[in-house]
Structure 1
Amino acid sequence: MFQHNRVYVGVVSVIFSLGVSASDVEVITIQAQQQSMATESNFAVGNSIQADSADWLASVPGANVNKNGPVSGIAQYRGMFGDRVSVKIDGYNVIGSGPNAMDAPLSYVVPVMLESMSVYRGIAPVSSGMDTIGGAVSVDMKEAEFSTSDWEISGLFQAGYRSNNEADSASFAANIANDKHALLSYYSYYDADNYDSGDDNLVYPTQYEKEQFGLDYRFQYNSGKVGFSYHKTETDDAGTPALAMDIEYISGDRFGLSGTQALSGWDIDWSLGYMESDHGMANFLFRPVANPAAFRNTTAEADTLDFKVHAKTPLPMGSLLVGVDGYMADHDAFITNPNNPAFLVNNFNDVEDNRIGLLAEWTHFFGKHQASVGGRIKFNQSDAGEVSHFMAANNPMVASLVNQFNDADRDDTETNFDFAATVNRIHNANLSFSVGVGVKQRAPSYQEKFLWFPLPVTGGLADGKVYVGNLNLDSETAYQFNMGATYNTGDFSISPNVFYQRIDDYIQGTPSTNAQVINIARMMAGDDSPLQFNNVDAEIYGLDLHWRYNASKHFLISGTASYIKGERRDIDDDLYRIAPPNASIKFSYFGDTWQGDISLTGYANQDDVSLTNLESETPGYGLIDASVSYFFDKVTLQAGVDNLFDREYARHLSGINRAIGGDVAVGDKVLAEGRNLFVKVQYQF
């Protein structure tokens, strides 16, 4: 049942055989390795105690994470991030309640329950998510496992400690099952103080407290399986120094009902999910606020109904997948001042964001080739209720913005489409090639459309700028191309990819020309150049690769490299928050009862920055991490160090600091953690 649970990256190469999914592009999988030791096709990552599962994405070529706080990581893939990247957990669309992505989808993943996290490399198949213009991440959590005999009980205890921020973690999971019924329950707790950078600069506020628990029940019968799951996430008193406020609480309840059924030659995969999330944030939890009138408290809520019915059938030399899926999400958010009962800004009121898709994917094998073609039609409907501002009665500019929004036609319906096609060819026993093309569309997010008042509420952009939305935004359209090769001799493999995306109507903040918006932003936020979400033209291109070399039965060397360039096509400017060129190499040694890993990671300086977003350049840096793991009968011990030489650096994908109270100046990049010693113990039964 439960086996040694360590985090690995598994490289799943293109497969050429009957019965392969239509989504058979190359997949990079971060997975919980089954059994005690790594295999030749897996290499260890994520050695330290992780509270935010998004951090593991940095080990995937082309992928990375935008960090706005220690538990607020946003997935990025090949220069696109946020709502452009589809993130699904157990097949469900997870929609956070925070309008600034403090609770981005991956924050709801339970690290101890992580079975696998897969990134579709290249052009994501249309079946992988509703909006995959920026790629797709699929997370599978452990589910209840059946026994082959009478009732059996298995489980694990896990605990860890990190020295830099005195982080503690403790987790428990238990599975009870027979051959028909299986029940899994778990509990996980993370707690940390503020961390220091490499030069002992206090990075504040970066503390957090996070608690997760839940259960998963499965019942299987002759032709199928049915399951019910419940997951609870509670995050309290967590810092987000790159945003205007910190997390007071996040309380999320996620319910899922799912199953598989064989019916008349079709394999049916269905699910129905519901998620309710409440979120409170404030600027006075950890940050000194001298003026009582400047206190701010925001409360946000989100409810999401998620559904999926996919059916797959074999065809001569291939397969066909058809389906319908989607979600209906409601959002509310209002701002108050606890020192002023009259202060109320109804920021997002009765917002609806509904997205439903119809899809079909066909796979065909012919000779040494495999072709996969898929299409998705997407029906998007959005609306918002009337808004209000406590200053509208006395300030004509505020009243004008309120009236303009309330008098506008906010109900919008549009139809988009996605198309993806990939051809794979086996050249010989060691070499294969792939070519993919796609056209992907994305309707604007509710923040991009319905942010009617100038505020730094942007879905987690964290550039320190003030924005307003645009009810007249068009959907983004990306024309995508990907070409790759895989060379594999058994002991050595390398898989480079090159890619290009031409994006029409890319949604980007550009300087507002609304005099009322400019005056209000200057008066209330000190921003003389607020931005408005508008459609522009852009392009993103680059290359990435991963490789491995089995030097011997016990010694493995592996690595990744990525280069991404994002540019505006309408003006001479670079896109915001693009990861700099980077590479990593890992040396792993496998003994009979132990494993050692040394990782070297390097990031180049990033001077291709967005002038529109006033983005600052960042210098390059190099890091060394090391760990050793010992395996006993039922116990695993792991110890190691991150940032061995205590390097002072800032990730380019971290936001700028907006918090007073630490050693990082307001307006500077948030510094990363300095040297961190860690230890972890796990007992399985």
Structure 2
Amino acid sequence: MRIRLQPLAASIAVAFAIPAVAQTPLRTLDEVVVEATRERDLPGAAAPTAGELERLRAATSDTASLLREQPGVSLYGAGGVSSLPVIHGLADDRLRIRLDGMDLIASCPNHMNPPLSYVDPSNLKSIKVYAGITPVSVGGDSIGGSIVAETRGPDFAQPGQGLLTKGEVGTYYRSNGDQRGINLSATVASENLSLSYSGALAKADNYKAGGEFKNFTATGRGNELARNEVGSSAYDTRNHTLGFALRGGNHLVELKLGYQDLPYQLYANQRMDMLDNEQKRANLRWLGQFDWGRAEARVYHEAVDHYMNFGMDKQLVYGTAVNGMPMYSRGRTTGVETKAEIDLADSSLLRLGALYQHYTLRDWWPPSGTGGMSPGTFENIADGSRDRAGLFGEWEKRFSPQWTTQLGLRYERVTTDAGDVHGYGNAMGNQLVDAAAFNAREHKKTDNNWDLTALARYAPSQAIDVEFGFAHKTRSPNLYERYTWSTWAMAAVMNNTVGDGNGYVGDPDLKAEKANTLSATFDWHAADRRWELKATPFYTRVTDYIDAVRLTNNAGFNVLRYTNQTARLFGLDLSGRMPLGNTALGQFAARGLVNYTNGKNLDTGDDLYNIMPLNTRLSLTHELGGWNNAVEMVAARAKNKVSDARNEVRTPGYALFNLRTSYTWRNIRVDAGVENLFDKLYYQPTGGTYTGQGTTMGINSIAPGIGVPGMGRTFYAGLNVRF
């Protein structure tokens, strides 16, 4: 069963996708949809099929990386199942990421538990990216795009069918890092009641790069790592979801209960490792269809308990008295949201909505011995809270078969606060002075944020579509940006959400970021969509952009403080496809995309951090019967525009080649392939700085200037069976 609260045209793809015909409501700029359904949303559409999504699943356990083939999207390197998506140079909390309608928040000073890390790729039904102008109905408290991820929805038996039972089981193996996993889903349903379960286990050891990238082997544990082994890249994660749904007439009530048990996920670009993460979530929603339109109400709650310390590749004992550095975070999120779509008589649609979200955070570090980390507990963030209350309205109007417009306005009131803090109770690193200065000032801050979007679509012929728009968007700082307080280098380097090896200190006086974006999409295509070419230029100017300034001035790693400055970003996305021939040997086609983003701090003249350089992805595909094959090239230019304030690592250009094949027979699918065919040593341009082994507690006790390399040659195979 599928109940969609957005118009059908607002649910179909951007990258290589068929735009909605002019008679449908406005299709938002650069919306990408990857759906795990056998049918396409519209006849002849080029949105990714279920097989394409399954092909991506076979090669990764990281849900965010399912977006790696979409225009305008790149990834910040992080843990093996927790990379952070980037849209047009803006990442992490600058994006609005929703999982099953829930706005989840990373409860970690290193953002090791982002929203998409709580869903396994095997349980994902769809993932949509709004990479251009994001409608206010899916945005809010963000200045970049939006990502909307949905797990599998409920299935019901057809009338007179009796009891419906169905399921799926899958497994995979990837050679590099001994990656292995299994997933299972099952559904039992009548015409009106549906019960479902989905679960997945994934585990991996450290992976190997395509060559030696370091000149040292020590870990500080008495063991050594090979010079091509990427330390702290192993993980072990388990995800489970229970679903209950009741249908009656035009109404649906659904409850989803989720649980994650993550024993460890190590980080090659962080000083610490995640050694336990437990998430529990409950998500209750009601959907209804009426003569006047549709309505939805949702209430959800999430509880996260997070523990960090030094993993197996980082030094644990310092001297004789300190045995590691335990760090705990506890986050609690409760949200309520309602929204409605009202069909108006004059070929227009009105969307209205309201939300309230309450988030609390405590981040504390117990004493680990005598000396610097004793005798008391270090309160990194005490009694932190972040409350959002918002309203939005969005009007969509079709003036003619050629012209459609959309106007949206959103208001949010964001209030943050934190309690008084203290260090371990000694004078090391100015803990006493910094805590006293923080406690003496006002902590509570309230932001009144406005978003505005204006979009238009013009279709002068069956071969050309043009979409263009403007957006004003606002984001309030997160709790780590406002309330981390210690300038002590050892404490500061534990607060780092970007993986550059530096330490960060917050500022309670930070203002909300405000972005003005212009974007357009020019779409040329054949009348039957056999070939197409899209170009999306964009320009964004951000006032009160949250960047950072140095508090120290070392040649290696430094302590920085968050500050408001001005930034601008611009770029171009190109994507397209074309058939090459339909022969007795099968159908041949070519697909490709090119992304370019340029980011600059206008106050300092420095380049913005972690901007992906010019990159491309080109593939030659072949289909014959149940076979689907491809040869792919992934390439990026050298990264020379870097953030000097952070001593960001430069990376050389590269070209990688991948091969893949799959065969589908009835309810069985087999995938196989090899990535980085020639085992090339390359560095991830947005992978951060290598801090994966050694004495990581000292700010400059490890070697600076080493990028995190990408994975070397990897053979993989996956099997999926439906029953």
TM above 0.5: yes
Greater strand fraction, Structure 1 or Structure 2: 1
The answer to whether the 8 Å contact 1:284/1:295 transfers is no
**Alignment partner of 2:655 out of 613, 622, 637:** 622
Is 1:683 aligned to residue 718 of structure 2? no
Deviation at 1:10, TM superposition (A): 6.4
Deviation at 1:571, TM superposition (A): 1.9
The equivalent of 1:450 in structure 2 is 483
The answer to whether the 8 Å contact 2:293/2:341 transfers is yes
The answer to whether the 8 Å contact 1:536/1:568 transfers is yes
**Alignment partner of 2:396 out of 352, 363, 369:** 363
Cα separation, partners in 2 of 1:529 and 1:47, compared to 1, 3 Å = closer
The answer to whether the 8 Å contact 2:28/2:130 transfers is no
**Alignment partner of 2:63 out of 53, 61, 70:** 53
Structure 1: how far apart are the matches of 2:194 and 2:179?
Answer: 33
The equivalent of 1:538 in structure 2 is 567
The equivalent of 1:205 in structure 2 is 232
**Alignment partner of 2:348 out of 294, 318, 333:** 318
Structure 1: how far apart are the matches of 2:477 and 2:253?
Answer: 35
The equivalent of 1:230 in structure 2 is 257
Cα separation, partners in 2 of 1:423 and 1:35, compared to 1, 3 Å = closer
The equivalent of 2:329 in structure 1 is 300
**Alignment partner of 2:30 out of 26, 30, 46:** 26
Kindly report the root-mean-square deviation, in angstroms, between the aligned alpha carbons of the 2 structures: 2.3
The answer to whether the 8 Å contact 2:649/2:705 transfers is no
Deviation at 1:48, TM superposition (A): 3.7
Is 1:129 aligned to residue 133 of structure 2? no
Write out per-residue CA displacement over residues 166-218 of structure 1, whole angstroms, 9 at most, x where no aligned residue.
Answer: 11110110011121111110111001111100126000111110101121111
Letter in structure 2 aligned against 1:481: L
The answer to whether the 8 Å contact 2:156/2:191 transfers is yes
Write out per-residue CA displacement over residues 26-54 of structure 1, whole angstroms, 9 at most, x where no aligned residue.
Answer: 31122325279x97714536264322111
TM-score by length of 1: 0.93
**Alignment partner of 2:358 out of 328, 332, 337:** 328
Deviation at 1:556, TM superposition (A): 2.6
SS in 2 for 1:356: strand
The equivalent of 2:538 in structure 1 is 499
SS in 2 for 1:398: helix
Is 1:15 aligned to residue 15 of structure 2? no
The equivalent of 1:87 in structure 2 is 97
The equivalent of 2:308 in structure 1 is 281
Is 1:242 aligned to residue 272 of structure 2? no
Aligned-pair identity in percent equals 24
The equivalent of 2:186 in structure 1 is 174
Structure 2: how far apart are the matches of 1:570 and 1:396?
Answer: 30
The equivalent of 2:72 in structure 1 is 62
SS in 2 for 1:127: coil
The answer to whether the 8 Å contact 2:197/2:243 transfers is yes
**Alignment partner of 1:401 out of 434, 452, 467:** 434
SS in 1 for 2:431: helix
Cα separation, partners in 2 of 1:597 and 1:528, compared to 1, 3 Å = closer
Is 1:660 aligned to residue 660 of structure 2? no
Structure 2: how far apart are the matches of 1:653 and 1:165?
Answer: 21
* 1:582-597 superposed matches below 5 A: 582-597=615-630
The size of the alignment, in residue pairs, is: 666
Cα separation, partners in 2 of 1:203 and 1:52, compared to 1, 3 Å = same
- Structure 2: 5+ residue runs without aligned partners? 3-12, 213-227, 696-701
Cα separation, partners in 2 of 1:603 and 1:498, compared to 1, 3 Å = same
Write out per-residue CA displacement over residues 8-32 of structure 1, whole angstroms, 9 at most, x where no aligned residue.
Answer: 9964443245563x66333112232
The answer to whether the 8 Å contact 1:492/1:548 transfers is yes
Letter in structure 2 aligned against 1:424: R
Write out per-residue CA displacement over residues 502-523 of structure 1, whole angstroms, 9 at most, x where no aligned residue.
Answer: 11110101123xxxxx6xx99x
Deviation at 1:496, TM superposition (A): 0.4
Letter in structure 2 aligned against 1:674: G
SS in 2 for 1:471: coil
Structure 1: how far apart are the matches of 2:410 and 2:178?
Answer: 48
**Alignment partner of 1:100 out of 92, 110, 116:** 110
Write out per-residue CA displacement over residues 114-163 of structure 1, whole angstroms, 9 at most, x where no aligned residue.
Answer: 11111113111111132231110110110221110211100011000001
The equivalent of 2:412 in structure 1 is 378
Letter in structure 2 aligned against 1:492: W
Letter in structure 1 aligned against 2:419: G
Is 1:571 aligned to residue 604 of structure 2? yes
The equivalent of 1:428 in structure 2 is 461
Structure 2: how far apart are the matches of 1:602 and 1:574?
Answer: 22
Is 1:635 aligned to residue 668 of structure 2? yes
The equivalent of 2:222 in structure 1 is none
Deviation at 1:100, TM superposition (A): 1.1
Structure 1: how far apart are the matches of 2:142 and 2:560?
Answer: 26
The equivalent of 1:41 in structure 2 is 46
Is 1:477 aligned to residue 508 of structure 2? no
Structure 2: how far apart are the matches of 1:446 and 1:568?
Answer: 23
The equivalent of 1:272 in structure 2 is 299
Cα separation, partners in 2 of 1:528 and 1:183, compared to 1, 3 Å = closer
Letter in structure 1 aligned against 2:209: S
Write out per-residue CA displacement over residues 266-299 of structure 1, whole angstroms, 9 at most, x where no aligned residue.
Answer: 4111111100011101025431234143721111
The answer to whether the 8 Å contact 2:264/2:277 transfers is no
- Between 1:8-17 and 1:592-601, the stretch displaced more is 8-17
Deviation at 1:371, TM superposition (A): 0.6
The equivalent of 2:279 in structure 1 is 252
Cα separation, partners in 2 of 1:49 and 1:338, compared to 1, 3 Å = farther
Structure 2: how far apart are the matches of 1:670 and 1:236?
Answer: 23
Structure 2: how far apart are the matches of 1:573 and 1:94?
Answer: 32
Cα separation, partners in 2 of 1:48 and 1:624, compared to 1, 3 Å = farther
The answer to whether the 8 Å contact 1:476/1:505 transfers is yes
Deviation at 1:456, TM superposition (A): 2.6
Letter in structure 2 aligned against 1:571: T
SS in 1 for 2:60: coil
TM-score by length of 2: 0.88
Structure 2: how far apart are the matches of 1:198 and 1:123?
Answer: 39
Deviation at 1:72, TM superposition (A): 2.4
SS in 2 for 1:59: coil
SS in 2 for 1:580: coil
The equivalent of 2:200 in structure 1 is 188
- Structure 1: 5+ residue runs without aligned partners? 3-7, 513-517
Letter in structure 1 aligned against 2:716: F
Letter in structure 1 aligned against 2:64: A
Cα separation, partners in 2 of 1:541 and 1:670, compared to 1, 3 Å = same
SS in 2 for 1:427: strand
Structure 1: how far apart are the matches of 2:259 and 2:630?
Answer: 34
Structure 1: how far apart are the matches of 2:295 and 2:209?
Answer: 51
SS in 2 for 1:550: strand
The answer to whether the 8 Å contact 1:19/1:314 transfers is no
The answer to whether the 8 Å contact 1:72/1:240 transfers is no
The answer to whether the 8 Å contact 1:246/1:285 transfers is no
Structure 1: how far apart are the matches of 2:14 and 2:521?
Answer: 20
Structure 2: how far apart are the matches of 1:259 and 1:85?
Answer: 26
Structure 2: how far apart are the matches of 1:112 and 1:72?
Answer: 15
